[in-house]
Chain A
Amino acid sequence: MHAYLLSLIIFTPLLAALVALFIPARAGRYFRLVTLAASLIQLAILIIIFLQYQRGSGAIQLIEKQNWISLDLGSWGILKAEYFLGVDGLSLPLVALAVLVMLIATVSSWSIEKNVKGYFILFLILNCAIIGSFVALDFLLFYLFFEFMLLPMFFLIGIWGGPRREYASIKFFLYTLLGSILILIVMIGLYLSVNDPASSGQFVHSFNLVTMSDPTNFISFSVLDPNNPWSIGPLHARMWAFLLLFIGFGIKLPMVPLHTWLPDAHVEAPTPISVILAALLLKIGGYGLMRIAYPIFPEAAINFSWLVGLVGVVSIIYGALNAIASKDLKRLIAYSSVSHMGFVLLGLASLTTEGVAGSVYQMVSHGIISAMLFLLAGVLYDRTHDRLITNYSGLATKMKSYFAFVLIGFFASLGLPGFSGFIAEIMVFLGAFKSALLHESLAITATLGLVLGAGYYLWAIQRMFFGPFYFKGDATKILYDLTSREYLMLISLALITLGFGIYPQPLLDFINPFARHFAETVIATGQRLILTP
């Protein structure tokens, strides 16, 4: 049974989508139920996975490996792609996050009225693709899932989005596609350069990510072989490959200056899709860097750690500044995401145990907090269809429990101790400052982000919630307090972020072995490659 757990968790939503295909479009209610059922089944599978998982080890577990594509190309060798799944301390927390956020997004999608059938089928496909990309350990398989996300996302924003949805969805699509192309280039390069060590005689070109992470598996004098003496322009091919991956995944993350798709996509997407975008899709950028770019090109990672760290700090400050300037609530939250994902880069660049653990912790924590923030923005949008901060005032008196959750969400996001964001950020700071690869000034500059973060959130609270009550716009729209469905979603997220903020150990138990192993291997392998090219 346990051999197929990961496949099961990936393909349950796809199966559900198949079921949904046969439900007539007018039976709107059933689509929600099917989606909810799929999410609940995933949750159950997730619990079983947690029970099976050995926490102490940093190794990949629950491996599923099947031959998928095997093409004999004659003198070219054999093209071999595998159906290779597994989880470790990096992917398991993210899978758990994905299952949880998808469940919440499903509940949040209850209010979707337009073309319910199409919406939920796309939603289920998206679910499958996201979880798939977190557990795939074969580059081709990963890429497949990665690209597969794009399509449902494009339609979900483009059809169910706000007034500028078409612009936003095309922008999102183009940006991400550009990133995908860069990743594709590297993937082809790697495919040409890597030989499966199990092969005898003939070259077996493998997409296996674990194989790729071992520099001894590169074919001599192939493009990305660490020992080949050529360089393309000023840099070695492997450096280029790292940079391409960095940009490719950085677009997803997003990093400044490749982030402008995010505010538009977030603002225009319907609430549940904003939640998924912020909580999950951004994480795939960070995940890709940790799973692919860093282990495969460790010496380039060490070489460019200043760049990664710098881009991280720039994102932190730049995102925060833009959030201050935002007049639209969703835009503000979107930019705060840019700012917070900068911490992921900074922690990763440090290549210390604390920094990497903080990075992963930040991904999970930001997933939960940003989900909460977008739900909160959605609550207001549902009632008034108005997101302009300046159009509101004194909401605290009208919507008391809403205000309470806004306080929790905002303060969690600005890194108040007791919430998960604080633990993540403090670890990133400690790691980045201590790291031998990064200059101390980077971490010191990043603390500015904390001050600015307090600035934009408190200013937003002040403008929207305090003062005398006032709402500019349609007076017939009633500003009623949270419904029980909204309450349920928000309270569960609030409790999770509080729990991980007060007692981080349960989550760290998973992340720790991975972070330690990751930091040590990347540094060790990278340094060996730098010393003996």
Chain B
Amino acid sequence: MLMVFLLPLVSCVISFLLTDRYAWVITLTAPLLQLISMIGALIVFFSLSAEPYTLALPWFHIGEFIFSANLQINAVSAIMLVVVTVVSFLVHVYSTGYMAGDENNRRYFAMLGFFTFSMLGIVLADNLLLIFVFWELVGFSSYMLIGHWNQKPAAVNAARKAFIFNRIGDAGFLIGLMIIWANAGTFELRNLLLQTEVFSWQTSATLCIFCGVIGKSAQFPLFTWLPDAMEGPTPVSALIHAATMVAAGVFLLSRIFALYTPEALDVVALIGIITAVLSALSALVQTDIKKILAYSTISQLGLMVTAIGAGAADAAMLHLFTHAFFKACLFLSAGAVIHVLHQAQQQTHTHFDVQDIRNLGGLRKKLPATFFAFALSGSALAGIPFFSGFVSKDAIFTGLWNWATMGTSWRWIVVVSAFLVSFITVLYTFRLVWFMFMGEEKSTQALDVTEAPLVMRLPIIILAVASLWFIITINPVDFNGWLFQILHPGKYFHFNLMAAVSASWVLLALGTAHRMYRTGKNFNVKIFQRAFYLDFIYQLLFEKPVLALASFTDRIDRHWIDGVLHSGVYAQVTLAHIIGWFDKWIIDGSVNAVAATSNGLGSFTRSFQGGKIQLYIFWSIFGLIIFLIWMLL
């Protein structure tokens, strides 16, 4: 297990130590190490016993409080382990093709390895503080990878935005940690989850931790960083911003599910469904391939979060599992399209935005394999029967249904919204398929487009196959398959009617999609396009006030504090001058006056002694005369 965990880090370190000259070595070692790590993860997964396995590692202690770095494998984390390592391995392989010739390859693979390492850290850690550590570290690697092409201002902006939005969520997470610390005095999940009593502080603590989830898993109202993050390389989007990192929030929720109080769960469900609806609507009108996929990711994450809020954490994990594969496949095939079109453009020196679906069309002839993979994984996303997405969505709907029947009426609104989301999902998925692959070729007509290299095609195909139903269950209409059994051991009652309803609903949506997009017409709603003006609101409410406040505090420093200081100093100096004047003219003046008087007196009397004999005779006769006059009178 430790090997699985540390190999990606080794890969990262290797890429740092290599010099630029041997940068090609990394394209061999990185996927190889990931492969070993993946095999290890699969071994761990299949040798999983009922009891969670814990590896005790010391970290540090303060006073009597011990912070351990324990790692734990349980059912949920084992599944997550497989998802992360498999997708990471495939993305590594794919990247060797996609990023070939990039001059910062070393940094790219280093960060990819580092990301995988930190992601596995989240999955394995048995201590909330340790989870927080890795939680922030994935944010860092995400920052580095989004901003990989750091000459591009849009990419850099997106990277910063992603990190800061995550930080805002993490500040909430930190407050949650503080509440837990103050009340429970431990971060060990083992101890926290075992307690049977429910305390009142748990609501606030878990909601604060949910803030972290809102940041990382791009939930309302902090989801706008994810579409922007699409400025990063596409494999990164597939790995981090679709399959794994953004799913970390869902994973965390299901990991600490036992801590959540019913009130907190209601909030979670509400936030989840709001996110799902808003982003599904936004996805419907975007024109950038990757942005559509990004909004769709947000929407699917919203559904998972809703499911967790509804108490169906196992269903959410199931959907996380299927979603990771088909969404990674969608991103990677979109990346393949972008990649080959870019290369074709470079050969012919033409220029148009290859990511804008309005420029594309009819690519099924030139890129059959990619089309095939995209269609398969798209069907899984849309939730068409016999695909994995159908099964896991079915699980979520069943969970939501059970939850709604047990509670108050507003829960039905959530259920209806979830159905609406699933309807819209079909619409935007097939809009994407239609615009890219069907119809007539538009701007790409003149280009000589060939399929992507094998290292890119192979991961796509593997992932496409993994979007079929058998990956999670043998019976394509029953989600209670082998994987769900691991998540939820024991019997599970549910009605298969839901599957039928869901299937007919999806088929209805499919028909609508066909009618809407067959003609290639593009609908645009400004408010959806701009994602409900959330970014604008943030700018107005936060960015600008903070900047204004910053320049205000700067003014305080320069004008007021220093101003007081300066005027104090000036007053002092002025006073000193006055005192100086006083010293010079009054005190020194009086002293000088005394001196001058005595000086004058002295020189007057001195003048009596001029050294001339005549003068002496004169003065003595003068004195004698005065004496005589005085005597005689």
Within the assembled complex, what's the spacing in Å between the Cα atoms of A462 and B150? 9
Within the assembled complex, what's the spacing in Å between the Cα atoms of A458 and B161? 9
Within the assembled complex, what's the spacing in Å between the Cα atoms of A76 and B86? 82
* B367 interface residue per 8 A CB criterion: no
* A417 interface residue per 8 A CB criterion: yes
Query: When the two chains form their complex, are residues B565 and A260 in contact, meaning their CB atoms are under 8 A apart?
Result: yes
* B181 interface residue per 8 A CB criterion: yes
Within the assembled complex, what's the spacing in Å between the Cα atoms of A123 and B63? 38
In B136-190, the 8 Å CB interface with A consists of 136-137, 140, 143, 147, 150-151, 153, 156-157, 159-160, 163-164, 167-168, 170-172, 174-175, 177-179, 181-182
Within the assembled complex, what's the spacing in Å between the Cα atoms of A326 and B554? 8
In A350-389, the 8 Å CB interface with B consists of 353-354, 357
Most buried by B among A411, A447, A462: A447
Chain B: CB-nearest residue to A338? B557
Chain B contact residues: helix, strand, loop or mixed? helix
Contacts of A427 in B (CB 8 A): 62
A458-B178 CB under 8 A given contacts A354-B63, A354-B65, A417-B132: no
Out of A171, A417, A418, A467, which one reaches B156, CB within 8 Å? A467
**A510 CB, min distance to chain B CBs, angstroms:** 12
Within the assembled complex, what's the spacing in Å between the Cα atoms of A444 and B132? 17
Contacts of B178 in A (CB 8 A): 429-430, 433-434, 440, 443-444
**A373 CB, min distance to chain B CBs, angstroms:** 18
By size class, the interface of chain B is 35 or more
* A70 interface residue per 8 A CB criterion: no
* A197 interface residue per 8 A CB criterion: no
* B133 interface residue per 8 A CB criterion: yes
* A455 interface residue per 8 A CB criterion: yes
Query: When the two chains form their complex, are residues A418 and B546 in contact, meaning their CB atoms are under 8 A apart?
Result: no
* A71 interface residue per 8 A CB criterion: no
Within the assembled complex, what's the spacing in Å between the Cα atoms of A215 and B65? 30
Within the assembled complex, what's the spacing in Å between the Cα atoms of A443 and B176? 12
Query: When the two chains form their complex, are residues B550 and A466 in contact, meaning their CB atoms are under 8 A apart?
Result: no
Query: When the two chains form their complex, are residues A325 and B550 in contact, meaning their CB atoms are under 8 A apart?
Result: yes
A396-B557 CB under 8 A given contacts A447-B175, A450-B174: no
Chain A: CB-nearest residue to B137? A417
**B321 CB, min distance to chain A CBs, angstroms:** 27
Query: When the two chains form their complex, are residues B151 and A451 in contact, meaning their CB atoms are under 8 A apart?
Result: no
Within the assembled complex, what's the spacing in Å between the Cα atoms of A330 and B577? 36
Query: When the two chains form their complex, are residues A454 and B151 in contact, meaning their CB atoms are under 8 A apart?
Result: no
Query: When the two chains form their complex, are residues A325 and B553 in contact, meaning their CB atoms are under 8 A apart?
Result: yes
* B562 interface residue per 8 A CB criterion: yes
Query: When the two chains form their complex, are residues B170 and A450 in contact, meaning their CB atoms are under 8 A apart?
Result: yes
In B400-448, the 8 Å CB interface with A consists of none
**A463 CB, min distance to chain B CBs, angstroms:** 9
* A397 interface residue per 8 A CB criterion: yes
Query: When the two chains form their complex, are residues B60 and A505 in contact, meaning their CB atoms are under 8 A apart?
Result: yes
Contacts of A416 in B (CB 8 A): 136-137, 140
Query: When the two chains form their complex, are residues A433 and B160 in contact, meaning their CB atoms are under 8 A apart?
Result: no
Give a binary string over B548-587; 1 marks a CB under 8 Å from any A CB, 0 the rest.
0111011001000110010001000000000000000000
**A173 CB, min distance to chain B CBs, angstroms:** 12
A462-B62 CB under 8 A given contacts A260-B565, A451-B168: no
Out of B129, B156, B181, which one reaches A434, CB within 8 Å? B181
Within the assembled complex, what's the spacing in Å between the Cα atoms of A440 and B175? 10
Query: When the two chains form their complex, are residues A257 and B561 in contact, meaning their CB atoms are under 8 A apart?
Result: yes
Query: When the two chains form their complex, are residues A394 and B151 in contact, meaning their CB atoms are under 8 A apart?
Result: yes
A260-B175 CB under 8 A given contacts A325-B551, A354-B65, A458-B160: no
Within the assembled complex, what's the spacing in Å between the Cα atoms of A466 and B174? 30
Query: When the two chains form their complex, are residues B62 and A508 in contact, meaning their CB atoms are under 8 A apart?
Result: yes
Within the assembled complex, what's the spacing in Å between the Cα atoms of A462 and B62? 37
Chain A contact residues: helix, strand, loop or mixed? helix
Query: When the two chains form their complex, are residues B181 and A430 in contact, meaning their CB atoms are under 8 A apart?
Result: yes
**B150 CB, min distance to chain A CBs, angstroms:** 4
In A44-96, the 8 Å CB interface with B consists of none
Stretch at the interface among A128-136, A221-229, A316-324: A316-324
Query: When the two chains form their complex, are residues B156 and A462 in contact, meaning their CB atoms are under 8 A apart?
Result: yes
A462-B160 CB under 8 A given contacts A397-B151, A426-B129: yes
Query: When the two chains form their complex, are residues B167 and A325 in contact, meaning their CB atoms are under 8 A apart?
Result: no
Out of A171, A174, A324, A394, which one reaches B546, CB within 8 Å? A324
**B93 CB, min distance to chain A CBs, angstroms:** 27
Query: When the two chains form their complex, are residues B171 and A357 in contact, meaning their CB atoms are under 8 A apart?
Result: no
Out of A174, A263, A353, A455, which one reaches B164, CB within 8 Å? A455
Out of B133, B150, B159, B550, which one reaches A396, CB within 8 Å? B150
**A361 CB, min distance to chain B CBs, angstroms:** 9
Out of B129, B134, B150, B569, which one reaches A174, CB within 8 Å? B569
Within the assembled complex, what's the spacing in Å between the Cα atoms of A325 and B548? 9
Within the assembled complex, what's the spacing in Å between the Cα atoms of A173 and B31? 59
**A432 CB, min distance to chain B CBs, angstroms:** 8
Within the assembled complex, what's the spacing in Å between the Cα atoms of A417 and B159? 18
* B547 interface residue per 8 A CB criterion: yes
In A379-413, the 8 Å CB interface with B consists of 394, 396-397, 411
Chain B: CB-nearest residue to A318? B553
A466-B150 CB under 8 A given contacts A324-B546, A422-B133, A458-B163: yes
Within the assembled complex, what's the spacing in Å between the Cα atoms of A117 and B179? 56
* B61 interface residue per 8 A CB criterion: yes
Query: When the two chains form their complex, are residues B60 and A451 in contact, meaning their CB atoms are under 8 A apart?
Result: no
Contacts of B59 in A (CB 8 A): 503, 505
Query: When the two chains form their complex, are residues A459 and B160 in contact, meaning their CB atoms are under 8 A apart?
Result: yes
Contacts of B157 in A (CB 8 A): 462
* A533 interface residue per 8 A CB criterion: no
Contacts of B547 in A (CB 8 A): 324-325
Within the assembled complex, what's the spacing in Å between the Cα atoms of A433 and B176? 11
Query: When the two chains form their complex, are residues A451 and B182 in contact, meaning their CB atoms are under 8 A apart?
Result: no
Contacts of A396 in B (CB 8 A): 150
Contacts of B61 in A (CB 8 A): 505, 508, 512
Query: When the two chains form their complex, are residues B174 and A447 in contact, meaning their CB atoms are under 8 A apart?
Result: yes
Contacts of A455 in B (CB 8 A): 164, 546
Within the assembled complex, what's the spacing in Å between the Cα atoms of A321 and B551? 8
* A465 interface residue per 8 A CB criterion: yes
**A453 CB, min distance to chain B CBs, angstroms:** 8
A418-B137 CB under 8 A given contacts A353-B63, A455-B164, A467-B151: yes
Out of B159, B171, B179, B551, which one reaches A448, CB within 8 Å? B171
Query: When the two chains form their complex, are residues A322 and B550 in contact, meaning their CB atoms are under 8 A apart?
Result: yes
* A329 interface residue per 8 A CB criterion: no
Query: When the two chains form their complex, are residues A450 and B171 in contact, meaning their CB atoms are under 8 A apart?
Result: yes
Contacts of B565 in A (CB 8 A): 171, 260
Within the assembled complex, what's the spacing in Å between the Cα atoms of A431 and B145? 35
In A180-216, the 8 Å CB interface with B consists of none
Give a binary string over A124-144; 1 marks a CB under 8 Å from any B CB, 0 the rest.
000000000000000000000
Query: When the two chains form their complex, are residues B60 and A508 in contact, meaning their CB atoms are under 8 A apart?
Result: yes
A260-B561 CB under 8 A given contacts A434-B182, A444-B175, A503-B60: yes
Query: When the two chains form their complex, are residues B62 and A354 in contact, meaning their CB atoms are under 8 A apart?
Result: yes
Contacts of A466 in B (CB 8 A): 147, 150-151, 153, 156
Query: When the two chains form their complex, are residues A516 and B63 in contact, meaning their CB atoms are under 8 A apart?
Result: yes
**A276 CB, min distance to chain B CBs, angstroms:** 23
Contacts of A321 in B (CB 8 A): 546, 549-550, 553-554
Within the assembled complex, what's the spacing in Å between the Cα atoms of A257 and B132? 33
* A468 interface residue per 8 A CB criterion: yes
In B264-280, the 8 Å CB interface with A consists of none
Within the assembled complex, what's the spacing in Å between the Cα atoms of A171 and B562? 10
Name 20 interchain pairs, CB-CB below 8 A, sorted by A.
A322-B557, A325-B553, A353-B65, A417-B137, A422-B133, A430-B177, A430-B181, A440-B182, A447-B175, A455-B164, A458-B159, A458-B160, A466-B150, A466-B151, A503-B59, A505-B58, A505-B61, A508-B61, A515-B62, A516-B63
Which 5 residue pairs are nearest across A and B when measured between Cβ atoms?
Answer: A433-B178, A353-B63, A417-B133, A325-B554, A324-B550
- Starting from the known contacts A426-B129, A467-B150, 20 additional A-B residue pairs (CB-CB under 8 Å) come to A325-B554, A353-B62, A354-B63, A357-B63, A426-B174, A429-B177, A430-B177, A433-B175, A440-B178, A443-B175, A444-B175, A448-B171, A450-B167, A450-B170, A454-B167, A468-B151, A503-B59, A503-B60, A505-B61, A516-B63
